[in-house]
Amino acid sequence: MDDKIIDKAIIGIVLLVVLFKLYAVLLPEAQTAGSELNESGVPLGSLFTGDGAIFVIIMASLIVLVVRSFKAKK
């Protein structure tokens, strides 16, 4: 029984590290692309800037995902 818990914990930690690493690599590039999109004059382009609503939603969903993954299951 204890081995299953340890295996799940290790897998969870590894997946969390991979998720944050992927997020750290992709986010700056996506923010730069969003800023360029906004500068081009696209309607609603301000949603995709670095401090726009899209990235706030992405960050909030990442936090919710992490909390749900470590939440005790009944």
Question: From CA 22, how far away is CA 12, in angstroms rounded?
Answer: 15
Q: Three-class SS of residue 73? A: coil
Task: Give the pLDDT of residue 73.
Answer: 58
Domain that holds residue 55: 2-70
- Residues 6 or more apart whose Cβ sits within 8 Å of residue 46: 38, 52
Mean pLDDT of 58-72: 83
Confidence band, pLDDT 50/70/90 cuts, at residue 21: very high
Number of domains in the chain: 1
- Residues 6 or more apart whose Cβ sits within 8 Å of residue 55: 27, 30, 31, 34, 48, 49
Average pLDDT, the chain: 85
Encoded tokens for 22: 């992927």
